[in-house]
Structure 1
Amino acid sequence: MSAFILISILLVRVGLGMYLAGLTRAKNAAGVVARVICDFGIAALAFYVLGAAIVTQENNRIFAMDFRHWFNAEAAAEVSVFLLFTTVATGIVIGALGERSRFFAMLPVTIVLAAVVVPVLAFWSRSSLGWLARLSVIDDFGASWLHMAGGVFALFGAKAVGARSNKYHRDGSASIIPGHSVPLAGLGALIMFAGLASLLAAGGGRAALNGVLAGAAGIVASLVLGRLRYGKPDVLLMITGMLGGVVAISAGAANVYPIFAIIIGGGAGVLVPWAAVEIDMRLRIDDPAGAVAIHLVGGAWGTVCAGIFCGRGVGGTFQAIGVQLLALVVAVAVSAAAAFGVFKFLASNLRSNEADEFDGLDLAEHDIGAYPDFQQNSIRSYHLREA
């Protein structure tokens, strides 16, 4: 089963690279793919070295860590599954801070998420010793402890790094800064959807079916939303709705009936695209990938819905909703505390300088262009650039 999960997670990572590359401008496309690759390596090692000791420890004290996985091959299967899940959370932050954050400054963010935040939340929710698990929280695939954790970090990071140049204006208006390839972003989103839906199949046939139905409902609901609000079928809204749907169902995929998966996905297909627009236009938080809306808002919606549609009777449903709300609050509180600390620490080194942002991070940080045959640059090399 871990091999199946490995393939699913790798599909998510491949799709993420394509999705983020398409949503960024050509001058930053190579750099964002480099971040997707590097983030995976750092997250995997950080989790294995420290995070796994938190998730797999056999005491009821969170810091009584167990490092047996360093030398015991029998612990490898359990560690590998959580390791692969963790890399989903760290990838969420990359797109939200795209086109204006420094490459090396982002590495501590990945380490904190993979080594501490996700393992702690996963232990509480998934381990038989975890206090949320003992309260019967419903979240097998990480709507709260995985997606919401990454979404909170994306929110704090986007706020800390600030908006891209010329995004927001003094008169209150905002500019749309389109990515260089919507088709590439769309194909990447489809691959991510395939990976996330396949991941749910680890929970059985109903979970796999629910993942597909929730994503499909998210597509249709966002299509209707785009038509009613803008008069046209908006491609980016449909992408956001699809991903929001599959994120939302990740909490209760193995516990709700398929008809309820459609309701959960359809609700996410309206709520998540709406939230993406509001975060951009009203809160004035620049998130080029819509990561905050997809993972934080979608994850929160799915976490609550898992309690509503769990089928435990009237009394049991109210109790389940309370537990789900508690899990939601805990995920936000722990992630927000960690995110505030790490971004406060990185504040002076997080943002690229104005010249680098103007020239593009491909050139400034990697001394390369994503499309050298098509881009017309007067600067041949970053190292030859005039001050």
Structure 2
Amino acid sequence: MENFADVKYVLDGFLFIIMGVLVMWMAAGFAMLESGLTRSKNNATVLTKNLALFAISCMMYYFVGYNLMYGDGGSIMGSFSTISMKTAADAAYPAAADFFFQVVFVATAASVISGSIAERMKLWPFLIFTVILSGVIYPIQGHWSWGGSELGGVMAGFSDFAGSTIVHSVGGWAALAGVLILGARKGKYGKDGSVRPIPGSNLTLATLGTFILWMGWFGFNGGSQLALGSKADIDGIALVVADTNMAACAGAIMAAVLTQLIYKKVDLTMVLNGALAGLVSCTAGPDLGMMVAFIEGIVGGALVVFAVPMFDKLRIDDPVGALSVHLVAGIWGTLAVGIFNPEVTIMAQVKGIVIVGAFVFIASFVVWKILDLIVGLRVSEEIEVQGLDIHETGLETYPEFKRA
């Protein structure tokens, strides 16, 4: 029996490590997707942001966030090795492996924001916001769900397997608050209400980024099984991975079909975001079967096609469609669990969505507003026209191709 416990300890720890590596690789996917869907004059800043936000998220979650999320909530500072951990009682797996798997989720939430505020926000205010998001905002709402507090019972019954709300919608709400303060890119919307498309620089990079995210999502959802030491666990992981893949496929094809019907052409950017929306839609309930995943993906892909122009009509400028993918599809995916899982009620899901959304949006809006008043969020009009790269990083992504 003791030997079996050792084997389970090893397998469960290995699951966290290898799945965490896959989720970490999603940082590259976000960087490539955002670079491809934004203009080349801003790409060096985009890449700098994505690398820096990952590093900041990991450090802040170590020093502050993990303790807030999985401790008793009474102490802020303290590394994962000195706090009351959720696995300390039975030592089911290595503490460092658990921390590593959790920390890459925090970076994902921050990455969602990066794309929405691209091409007009200063670098340092964004990074300062990342400090607060990963150290305070994300862990507090996570404490109410994955941390086990249930907010004194208010969030009892709320179910989010891998983070449609806890990760993706959190990033979406924080991004929405920032975009509302920041405003749209210069020239995006006409005074007559028209919308001017601003094409990205490289759809090849955007497609590569989507495939990297798709691959990383197998770790995102599969690792959230949280155990590998039994037949039931590996069966569960296999189902989650298969469901995740199905949802992405359904989302991509639904977006392709709808754009053909609506615009008479297949819009690649919509297809990419359709796949990602399918993944987000499946994340709250990737263990409910492939038919459920198919339905979640179909609806998620359709939502993106209609949400992107909806945000444009509201003059909310989102260069990469992150609000449509992570916020809108995240809400749908969380509600879907209440529809398809008989053990979860719609009301419990709605309460969780509203509570988390209200807290994250209000807290983020306050932080963004303070940063705007102190240091300013937006670059000058001259810098925005010339491109952020030279002014923020001193570099050009493609120096051999000079702009006219």
Do these two structures clear the TM 0.5 threshold for a shared fold by scoring above it?
yes
Equivalents in 2 of 1:259, 1:195: separation in Å? 22
Counterpart residue type for residue 354 of structure 1: E
Once the two structures are TM-superposed, the CA of residue 35 in structure 1 deviates from its matched residue by 0.5
Please name the residue that 1:214 is paired with: 247
Equivalents in 1 of 2:44, 2:77: separation in Å? 39
* Superposition pairs of residues 119-198 of structure 1, within 5 angstroms: 119-131=139-151, 135-198=156-219
Pairing 1:260–2:292 present: yes
Once the two structures are TM-superposed, the CA of residue 216 in structure 1 deviates from its matched residue by 0.6
Please name the residue that 2:361 is paired with: 336
Equivalents in 2 of 1:336, 1:249: separation in Å? 23
Equivalents in 1 of 2:147, 2:66: separation in Å? 12
Once the two structures are TM-superposed, the CA of residue 64 in structure 1 deviates from its matched residue by 4.5
Pairing 1:54–2:59 present: no
Once the two structures are TM-superposed, the CA of residue 133 in structure 1 deviates from its matched residue by 9.5
Pairing 1:94–2:119 present: no
* Deviation by residue 1:58-111 (Cα, 9 ceiling, x = unmatched): x3xx33457362557963233222211111000111111111100001112111
Counterpart residue type for residue 186 of structure 1: T
TM-score normalized by the length of structure 1 = 0.90
Asked whether the 8 Å contact 1:128–1:134 carries over to 2, the reply is: no
Counterpart residue type for residue 120 of structure 2: R
The answer for unaligned runs of 5 or more in structure 2 is: 1-14, 89-93, 226-236
Equivalents in 2 of 1:165, 1:307: separation in Å? 41
Pairing 1:309–2:323 present: no
Change beyond 3 A, Cα 1:70–1:375: farther
Please name the residue that 1:10 is paired with: 24
Equivalents in 1 of 2:43, 2:332: separation in Å? 31
Equivalents in 1 of 2:219, 2:55: separation in Å? 22
Please name the residue that 1:385 is paired with: none
Once the two structures are TM-superposed, the CA of residue 125 in structure 1 deviates from its matched residue by 1.1
Equivalents in 2 of 1:64, 1:366: separation in Å? 37
Pairing 1:30–2:48 present: no
Asked whether the 8 Å contact 2:64–2:79 carries over to 1, the reply is: no
Match of 2:273 among 212, 232, 240: 240
Please name the residue that 1:270 is paired with: 302
Pairing 1:82–2:117 present: no
**How many residues get paired?**
366
Equivalents in 2 of 1:268, 1:123: separation in Å? 27
| Secondary structure class of the residue paired with 1:215 | helix
* Deviation by residue 1:260-305 (Cα, 9 ceiling, x = unmatched): 110011000101221012102x111110011111111010000000
Equivalents in 2 of 1:192, 1:10: separation in Å? 10
Please name the residue that 1:44 is paired with: 58
Counterpart residue type for residue 253 of structure 2: V
Counterpart residue type for residue 15 of structure 1: G
* Deviation by residue 1:334-375 (Cα, 9 ceiling, x = unmatched): 111111111110224100011111111111111111111112
Counterpart residue type for residue 197 of structure 2: I
Match of 2:398 among 349, 362, 371: 371
Change beyond 3 A, Cα 1:69–1:63: same
Please name the residue that 1:382 is paired with: none
| Secondary structure class of the residue paired with 2:184 | coil
Asked whether the 8 Å contact 1:56–1:79 carries over to 2, the reply is: no
Once the two structures are TM-superposed, the CA of residue 161 in structure 1 deviates from its matched residue by 1.0
* Deviation by residue 1:104-142 (Cα, 9 ceiling, x = unmatched): 011121112111121112221113343469723221211
Asked whether the 8 Å contact 2:176–2:361 carries over to 1, the reply is: no
Match of 1:112 among 132, 140, 153: 132
Asked whether the 8 Å contact 2:187–2:196 carries over to 1, the reply is: yes
Change beyond 3 A, Cα 1:139–1:237: same
TM-score normalized by the length of structure 2 = 0.87
Pairing 1:69–2:80 present: yes
| Secondary structure class of the residue paired with 1:266 | helix
Computed over aligned residues only, the root mean square deviation of the Cα atoms, in angstroms, reads 1.8
Asked whether the 8 Å contact 2:44–2:397 carries over to 1, the reply is: yes
Asked whether the 8 Å contact 1:47–1:114 carries over to 2, the reply is: yes
Once the two structures are TM-superposed, the CA of residue 52 in structure 1 deviates from its matched residue by 0.7
Counterpart residue type for residue 220 of structure 2: L
The answer for unaligned runs of 5 or more in structure 1 is: 378-387
| Secondary structure class of the residue paired with 2:283 | coil
Asked whether the 8 Å contact 1:56–1:66 carries over to 2, the reply is: no
Pairing 1:298–2:329 present: yes
Please name the residue that 2:371 is paired with: 346
Equivalents in 2 of 1:128, 1:368: separation in Å? 46
Change beyond 3 A, Cα 1:220–1:268: same
Change beyond 3 A, Cα 1:354–1:283: same
Counterpart residue type for residue 16 of structure 2: S
Counterpart residue type for residue 327 of structure 1: G
